[in-house]
Structure 1
Amino acid sequence: MDLLQFVLNFKGTPPWLNATALTALTDRWRPETHSFHLPLGEMSITLEDIAMITGLPIEGRALTGKVRSNGWRQRVAALVGVESEPWTDETRKDPRPSGVLFSWIQRHFRRCPKDASPLVVERFARAYLWNLLTQVVFPDGTGDTASWMFLDPLRDWDVKWS
């Protein structure tokens, strides 16, 4: 999937985010020019800059598509081999209708067994990439949920995503 360089940036843990630096950059962002206005001048970040910094590929199919939420738990089970627990409290709305907790992924996929079959290794690799992509590239507002919709593109290992 051409994600090796991206994965090697993290070696098992997502990067620590410096909230002060992010706030400073956010304060200096000018949407009308799509650039940062810094004391030393104006700075623009290009797509190529992002590719070089993150190791994410910028050539390939764009990561777009239709989102079908019906049956997402079954699709998760088909791709990683474990179905997430359904929401059973009928008095309250499901707080995680769009994915699973990162702790769920870590509980089920912390360590791949040494004598695992190729299918099991593939499922663990898929769960690892899903966890990494949803924590680093596509985080949600809760900060603790891996959205199921970013697991679907990991179905086919031969597709090069941009």
Structure 2
Amino acid sequence: MTVTLQDVFMITALPIEGKPLCMSTDSEGCREQMEALIDMSPPEPETEDGGKKDKVPASAPFTWIPANFANCPEDTNDSVIKTYAHTYMWYVIPRTIFADGSGKNAQWMWLKALTVFDHKFSWGSAALAYM
């Protein structure tokens, strides 16, 4: 058995036809952009001696996402619902379709891609190419 484009669509409801999903992996300003997109960013990782790391990954720990976005507030506006939906998909996509070897972090680029639905990206093609 193998994953097909139809499987990607049925599981995620993400489009499988459209423009190629080409996202920059540049992490410059990713924490500020996370703040702008989902109103928060994970704390910067610290070294063993308690100082800040020089090189901070452009990602969020998988444990941080459900700790902050597990339950969408009731009686909220559409903007907040979209934020929670995008963040949930950000949690799911790098754990399933675009999983890496570490299994610890959700890469920033997937959140960025999820917030530009109007571009009509072909997520299915990207998933097959990633495999």
* Both structures adopt the same fold (TM-score exceeding 0.5): yes
Q: TM-score, normalised by structure 1?
A: 0.62
- After the TM superposition, which of the residue ranges 130-139 and 84-93 deviates more from structure 2? 84-93
- Alignment of 1:54 with 2:8, yes or no, is yes
- Rounded to whole Å, the distance in 2 between the matches of 1:53 and 1:149 is 22
Partner of 1:161: 121
Determine which structure has more spread, i.e. the larger CA radius of gyration: 1
Partner of 2:87: 127
* Structure 2 counterpart SS, 1:61: coil
2:21 counterpart (63, 72, 83): 63
1:133 shift after superposition: 1.0
Contact 1:77 1:84 in 2 (8 A): no
Partner of 2:108: 148
| CA displacement, residues 23-76 of structure 1 (integer Å, 9 cap, x when unaligned) | xx9xxxxxxxxxxxxxxxxxxx6xxx6112332543111111322211111111
Q: TM-score, normalised by structure 2?
A: 0.75
* Structure 2 counterpart SS, 1:146: strand
- Rounded to whole Å, the distance in 2 between the matches of 1:122 and 1:108 is 15
What does residue range 101-140 of structure 1 map to in structure 2 within 5 Å? Answer: 101-140=61-100
Partner of 2:128: none
* Total equivalences in the alignment: 115
Greater RCO structure (CA 8 Å; 6+ sep): 2
Q: 1:54 to 1:109 in 2, by over 3 A?
A: same
What does residue range 74-85 of structure 1 map to in structure 2 within 5 Å? Answer: 74-85=32-43
Contact 1:100 1:148 in 2 (8 A): yes
* Structure 2 counterpart SS, 1:158: helix
